[in-house]
Amino acid sequence: MTHGKLSLANKAANGSSNGHTIEPPSPPSYEEATAGSSAPCYNDAEMLTEFTWDDLNIRRIFIRKVYTILMIQLLVTLAVVSFFTFCDAAKDYIQANPGWYWASYAVFFVTYLTLSCCSAPRRKFPWNLILLAIFTLSLSYMTGMLSSFYNTKSVVMCLGITATVCLLVTVFSFQTKIDVTSCQGMLCIFSMVMFVSGLVLVLVLPYHYVPWLDATFAVLGAILFTMFLAFDTQLLIGNKRYTMSPEEYVFATLNIYLDIIYIFSFFLQIFGTRQE
């Protein structure tokens, strides 16, 4: 840069002494203009703060959207469970027609695989919400039919226990410094244990009912899906090792809703009293 300036000064002196017209100097190159200057063209702290604020704002909107949809799902499920529990005519009808249960199970399975495995329908509005609504109605019917076989007081008690546990787990997930999202291996092993235990129950229970085996399976299932609820909640929050994309609000809602329904089902299996 200094050498260039000295050259231009010498040329100007020689040109003026010889009486020739001085040509204007060419503009400096980018390397010459930025040589010796280490200051950035923008304030790094302001840009980082702005980006961080934008990310937090997007994350808050994402969490608000997920819990709004989740509350609608839970209210629909609560209405269906209450109707099948308190209305004797509806209770007798669904118990006398188990074909509707298997039809709703087929709808549940297809919509669950579609929303879980296919990113295009899961992210495309309004098909993602339509599929989620069908999924919610089918699972609500299955949960309502399951609840119809239990005493009304037992169903109400299990609803209260489920609400309390889910609230405590959600508060814990938001406040704790423990990273549950890094425990994927433990959750995978626990899930395999539950899968093998379920196969054993399928083979044993048709021949001989073992109360302690059924209760143990229900306790393990409640613990597993409580851990999954904490795992999915921290994925939703996004301040741990693994986070969920804000575009996946339907998938996040699907996971948390399914965790809560399974927790209620296992609590009903543990504390519920079957009708005579």
Total domains present in the chain? 1
Q: Is the pLDDT of residue 40 over 70?
A: no
- Give the whole-angstrom CA distance, residue 123 versus residue 126: 9
Q: What is the pLDDT of residue 36?
A: 47
Question: pLDDT tens for residues 247-258?
Answer: 888 888 999 999
Q: Is the pLDDT of residue 4 over 60?
A: no
Contacts of 162 (CB under 8 A, 6+ apart): 260, 263, 264, 267
117 lies in some domain: yes
Q: Is the pLDDT of residue 207 over 70?
A: no
Q: What is the pLDDT of residue 192?
A: 87
- Give the whole-angstrom CA distance, residue 82 versus residue 78: 6
Amino acid making up residue 205: L
pLDDT band at 229 (very low <50, low <70, confident <90, very high): very high
108 lies in some domain: yes
115 lies in some domain: yes
222: closest CA among 267, 189, 186, 191? Answer: 267
Contacts of 27 (CB under 8 A, 6+ apart): none
Q: What is the pLDDT of residue 50?
A: 39
Average model confidence (pLDDT) for the chain?
78
Which range (20-29, 102-111, 136-145, 222-231) has the least confidence? Answer: 20-29
Amino acid making up residue 218: A
Average pLDDT value for residue range 231-246: 80
Q: What is the pLDDT of residue 24?
A: 52
20 lies in some domain: no
Q: What is the pLDDT of residue 8?
A: 42
For the chain, what percent of residues have pLDDT higher than 70?
Answer: 76
183 lies in some domain: yes
Higher pLDDT, 238 or 263: 263
Average pLDDT value for residue range 12-22: 49
Q: Which tokens in the block code for residue 141?
A: 């019917």
35 lies in some domain: no
Q: Is the pLDDT of residue 20 over 60?
A: no
Q: Which domain holds residue 117?
A: 63-271
Q: What is the pLDDT of residue 42?
A: 34
194: closest CA among 169, 165, 228, 218? Answer: 218
Average pLDDT value for residue range 226-234: 89
For the chain, what percent of residues have pLDDT higher than 90?
Answer: 25
168 lies in some domain: yes
**Residue 264 neighbours by CB distance under 10 Å:** 26
Using an 8 Å Cβ cutoff, are 190 and 224 in contact? yes
Q: What is the pLDDT of residue 27?
A: 55
119 lies in some domain: yes
Of the ranges 30-44, 115-129, 145-159, which is most confident?
A: 145-159
Which range (66-75, 111-120, 156-165, 258-267) has the least confidence? Answer: 111-120
Question: pLDDT tens for residues 101-145?
Answer: 999 999 999 999 988 888 788 888 888 899 999 999 999 999 999
Q: Is the pLDDT of residue 164 over 60?
A: yes
- Give the whole-angstrom CA distance, residue 250 versus residue 66: 7
